Amino acid sequence: MTKKNQWIAKHVQDKYVKLAQKDNFRSRASYKLLEINSKYHIIQKQATNVIIDLGAAPGGFSQVVARHSHLNTKIIAVDLLEMKSIAKVSFIQGDFRDANILKEIDSLLQQQSSKKAQLIMSDMSPNLSGDKFRDQCNIIELCELILDFALQYLQNNGYFLVKIFQGHGFVEYRQQLIQNFTKVICCKPEA
């Protein structure tokens, strides 16, 4: 059995994959955000909130935010891949680093009173090659790009949630977070 087939066989038996199907969530990632939010309350229920979900497809995080945020919260989801629509979510297909995509994000933010996001989150991961060192370098580079985005678009006292793999570059990245945020928490949700 190939590694890909082994991964698929393990994935379909995963309790969170089964639970997501039962609960009508788009992915098992929904349970990561639900667990994080139950501990740290990062989804605020204020009418003026803006939430940005980078690497949103298939929509697990966006779906949770849409269900747990204030009715008037503006949710902006961005991904290279297509994503089926979700009520309350404005989807932009493209690379969050692209100038045209940034203009679209800016345009949506200009319609909001705060002009910045209260929460920026990303469950993004680069395509994995199987070379652990190379994959770790790629995730660190991606996380640095996401942090740069957050520093530009996140309001004061906002929340920043990013997935990262612990390994080479992690300590340095965490130090960047400590330099830019009041509080930094590392956690590994059960999901």
Residues marked active site are found at 163
User: Which residues partner with 121 through β-bridges?
Assistant: 53, 161
User: How far is 93 from 91, CA to CA, in rounded Å?
Assistant: 6
Phi-psi bin for 27: left (phi > 0), alpha (psi -120 to 50), beta? beta
User: Are the CB atoms for 50 and 71 separated by under 8 Å?
Assistant: no
From 126, 185, 191, select the one nearest 159 (Cα to Cα). Answer: 185
